Amino acid sequence: MGELFTSFEEAWSWFLAREEPLENFYEQFPEDQDVVLEGWVIEPSAQVKEAATHLQAAMSHLDWLVSVPDHFLHVWIGSVERIDDAWRQWPEIETFPAAYRRVNCFHAAVVVEVEGCLRPLVTGTPNDIPALLPHMTVAITKEAGPAAELRDALLPLRNTNLGAETIREVKRVRFPAARSSLLRPWTVEQVVPLA
């Protein structure tokens, strides 16, 4: 996968200028069927998920994209290893508003930017995330795909607003992470409510 972006603006500028095909999302995952991942997520509301399906429909003609199923839509906070014990401070963090708006594109995924005060959730982790770009992935590439084709689909959708909600909890989830098992439902291992 390409280098991480330091801002959403950088990601969007990269996408607008990209000439080479987007990368295959699945290639970053192993083929071993026993591989699982565990991490912390914010699960969006049913209303946000419903709005995401309309956005996904606008890209459905691109057969090299896979829409993320609504049971798997989330905002990734970090792996269990990266977050470590920082989650113990979360009950002291007040609930906060978050807005899901503006479509963007990373190296192998179409995402919706998430605006909200998520930084306190990762502050103080052993590997403090240098550039937290909170997002909800709505589609991934199943093979390399032409950037120009996706650009044509996303430019009219750039300022899409999927809605807002109050973030009240963070979930620790566990899910299969082999290439052939990605996007299957996760298991909730722990729920941490915010103040």
pTM: 0.93
- CATH architecture assignment, domain 8-193: Alpha-Beta Complex (3.90)
> What does the pLDDT look like over 19-43, one tens digit per residue?
999 999 999 898 888 899 999 999 9
Beta partners for residue 76, in sequence order: 41
For the chain, what are the domain ranges?
A: 8-193
* C-alpha distances in Å from residue 145, one per residue of 18, 75, 108, 121: 12, 24, 9, 34
Q: Is 32 exposed, middle or buried (0-12, 13-18, 19+ CB in 10 A)?
A: exposed
pLDDT in tens, 96-139: 999 999 999 999 999 999 999 898 898 766 555 555 789 999 99
Contact 121, 90 (CB under 8 A): yes
